[in-house]
Amino acid sequence: MEILIPVLIVVGLAVIVGIYLWATYNSLVALNVRVDEAWSDITVQLKRRADLLPNLIEAVKGYAAHEKAVFENVTRARAETLTASTPVDAGVAEGHMQQALKSLFAVAEAYPQLQASQNFLQLQQSVVDTEDKIQASRRFYNGGVRELNTKIKVFPNNLFARNLGFSEREFFEVVDGAAIAEPPRIQF
């Protein structure tokens, strides 16, 4: 009987630790999937914006064909955005895209006829909507990353989370903060 009590205590502790590990592992998996889903949402919105840009460039080109450097910068930024595969790469590409869009919209402002074009106005509105969706997706992604990273770093999870295959994820931050300090001016 005396040996039964310590055995029950050890078994009870092993069961508690096992339940804790099981619950923690499942929550880490759920957070990891949520971060992957959020990253997928960002890539969808970045692709949507990239799909809008050729039409926007063509609309502006019809009025300002001599602004070749601006169009090349937007095209280069678009390609960089589409090839970005990590949050760090996407952050760099996003800074370049914001600078290119500022230049494109600055050129467009110089042409009142373009500003009055219904096609251009619809494209501008689509870009604005997409930018809003990118920001919302980015906030959702960064929130998921924050939760996952916190769960990995807290004690006692930090003792075994990496051994279970979980690692901290990168935030989606624009590398050149000055590039987005002032969003592209879009006037209607």
What are the distances in angstroms from CA 142 to CA 29, 34, 116, 139? 17, 11, 38, 5
For tokens 């009025």, name the residue. 63
Percent of the chain having pLDDT more than 70?
93
pLDDT tier at 143 (50, 70, 90 boundaries)? very high
Let me know if residue 67 belongs to a domain: yes
Domain that includes residue 111, residue range: 11-180
Residue 141 · residue 38 · CB < 8 Å: yes
Let me know if residue 4 belongs to a domain: no
Tell me what pLDDT residue 178 has: 56
Tell me what pLDDT residue 65 has: 78
Task: Report yes or no on whether pTM surpasses 0.75.
Answer: yes
Let me know if residue 1 belongs to a domain: no
In this model, does residue 11 exceed pLDDT 80?
yes
Let me know if residue 40 belongs to a domain: yes
Let me know if residue 5 belongs to a domain: no
Tell me what pLDDT residue 108 has: 86
The number of domains in the chain is: 1
Does 54 sit behind a cis peptide bond, omega within 30 degrees of 0 on the bond before it?
no
pLDDT tens figures, 57-76: 888 888 887 888 889 999 99
For tokens 């952050």, name the residue. 91
Let me know if residue 188 belongs to a domain: no
Let me know if residue 6 belongs to a domain: no
Percent of the chain having pLDDT more than 90?
61
Let me know if residue 32 belongs to a domain: yes
Tell me what pLDDT residue 154 has: 94
Burial of 53 per CB tally in 10 Å (0-12, 13-18, 19+): buried
The H-or-E segment that residue 45 falls in is helix 4-61
Tell me what pLDDT residue 43 has: 93
In this model, does residue 173 exceed pLDDT 80?
yes
Q: What is the mean pLDDT of residues 120-139?
A: 92
Residue 119 · residue 57 · CB < 8 Å: no
Q: Residue 140's domain is classified under what CATH number?
A: 1.20.1440.20
Tell me what pLDDT residue 188 has: 43
